[in-house]
Amino acid sequence: MRGVVTATRSPEPVRAAAVPVFEARALSVWLGERRLLRDVTLDVPRGGVTALMGPPGCGKTAFLRALNRMNECHDGALTRGEVRFEGGDVYAPGVDVRALRRRVGMVFRAPRMLPGTVLDNVSYGLRVGPPMGRGERDARVERALARAGLWGELRDRLGEPAAGLANGAQQRLCVARALALDPTVLLLDEPAATLDPVETATLEEALSTLRDELTVVIVTHAMEQAARVSQTTAFFHRGDLVEVGDTRDVFTRPRREATEDYLTGRFG
Ligand SMILES: Nc1ncnc2c1ncn2[C@@H]1O[C@H](COP(=O)(O)OP(=O)(O)OP(=O)(O)O)[C@@H](O)[C@H]1O
Ligand SMILES: [Mg+2]
């Protein structure tokens, strides 16, 4: 990439004006010998949607998973640098990782249904968490399904097997399962990758409401999707953060050649 990427490794936080919910500083992630991220310094603004873009293998997922310590699920993962969530060091000794993941929920590329019914799925985190009365649980379930755009569709089907739902509804059920815990942040790793255009539009509609209520970080390969749903876009390449800014600016006036090459389809 004509030396662009190494020249742009920028240590300064790029969005100092917004109040960040996450602050990553010189964040590096290795998996065994392989370095997935290199000294990434990036603020995720509170509220709204931040899109992570870049060619396959550039470290988008590694960055997303660093935010709630999911990389540690891989043997041989090593994280260096700093991630602060609401000011607190995510990697400090003694951090309750399960509590962190309840506040920073995650949805993966393809729907991951748990065995059992729709209700079992959406209430899973409530059942394994602190004790809660039936009334509160039901209210949380309804609210989570509503926020994921599913209440109308599923209110009379709570006892049906979740595995029987259409793919798009399953993915929104995964969103609802995370939302039931009332997270501060929702991490979405290519959530529409396996969805058809209609299902994708329904998911995006749900996101457009959610972005007023919490912070969403979404990895996407679809530029149109990033342009539609996000207010901030971060562009990664080969483990580096190349640039970050308001989505409109990144798309219309990219500051880095690598970003422009990607947006114009020259690679990726
Ligand atoms: N479990 C793993 N084992 C070995 N290598 C991995 C593993 N996960 C990721 N990698 C490698 O780490 C690098 C960064 O991966 P990452 O998944 O963060 O990229 P990505 O930008 O999310 O890519 P994609 O768009 O393909 O999802 C890639 O080169 C990938 O091959
Ligand atoms: Mg990925």
- Using DSSP's 3-state secondary structure scheme, residue 88 falls into strand
Q: Of 190, 197, 198, 199, whose CA–CA distance to 172 is shortest?
A: 199
Ligand 1 atom closest to Cα of residue 58: 21
Tell me whether residue 16 is exposed, middle or buried, using C-beta atoms within 10 angstroms of its C-beta: 0 to 12, 13 to 18, 19 or more: exposed
Q: Does ligand 1 come within 6 angstroms of the Cβ of 74?
A: yes
Strands 48-53 and 20-31: unpaired
- Using DSSP's 3-state secondary structure scheme, residue 144 falls into helix
Residues of the chain whose pLDDT is less than 70? 1-18, 267-268
Residue nearest ligand 1's atom 3 by CA: 31
- What is the predicted pLDDT for the residue at 172? 97
pTM, 2 dp: 0.91
Tell me: the pLDDT tens digits for 15-56?
445 679 999 999 999 999 999 999 999 999 999 999 999 999
Neighbours of 95 (CB within 10 A): 14
Tell me: the pLDDT tens digits for 227-245?
999 999 999 999 999 999 9
- What is the predicted pLDDT for the residue at 18? 60
**Given this structure, which CATH class describes domain 4-113+182-263?**
alpha beta
CA of residue 186 to ligand 1 center, whole Å: 20
CA of residue 189 to ligand 2 center, whole Å: 7
- What is the predicted pLDDT for the residue at 196? 95
Strands 240-246 and 104-107: unpaired
Q: Does ligand 1 come within 6 angstroms of the Cβ of 61?
A: yes
Contact by Cβ (8 Å): 104, 111:
no
Kindly report the backbone phi and psi dihedral angles of residue 74, in degrees, each rounded to the nearest multiple of 5, phi listed first: -90, 135
- What is the predicted pLDDT for the residue at 136? 92
Q: Which is it for the CA torsion 93, 94, 96, 100, positive or negative?
A: negative
Rounded Cα–Cα distance for residues 181 and 179 (Å): 5
Residue nearest ligand 1's atom 2 by CA: 31
- What is the predicted pLDDT for the residue at 46? 95
Contact by Cβ (8 Å): 240, 234:
no
- What is the predicted pLDDT for the residue at 2? 35
Q: Does ligand 1 come within 6 angstroms of the Cβ of 59?
A: yes
Q: Of 45, 185, 38, 31, whose CA–CA distance to 104 is shortest?
A: 185
Using alpha carbons only, how large is the chain's radius of gyration in Å?
Answer: 18
The contacts of residue 46 (CB under 8 Å, 6+ apart) are 18, 19, 20, 21, 215
CA of residue 36 to ligand 1 center, whole Å: 7
Ligand 1 atom closest to Cα of residue 32: 4
**Closest ligand (CA of 65):** 1
- What is the predicted pLDDT for the residue at 119? 97
Contact by Cβ (8 Å): 250, 259:
yes
| H-type alpha helices, 129-246 | 134-147, 151-154, 167-179, 197-210, 223-229
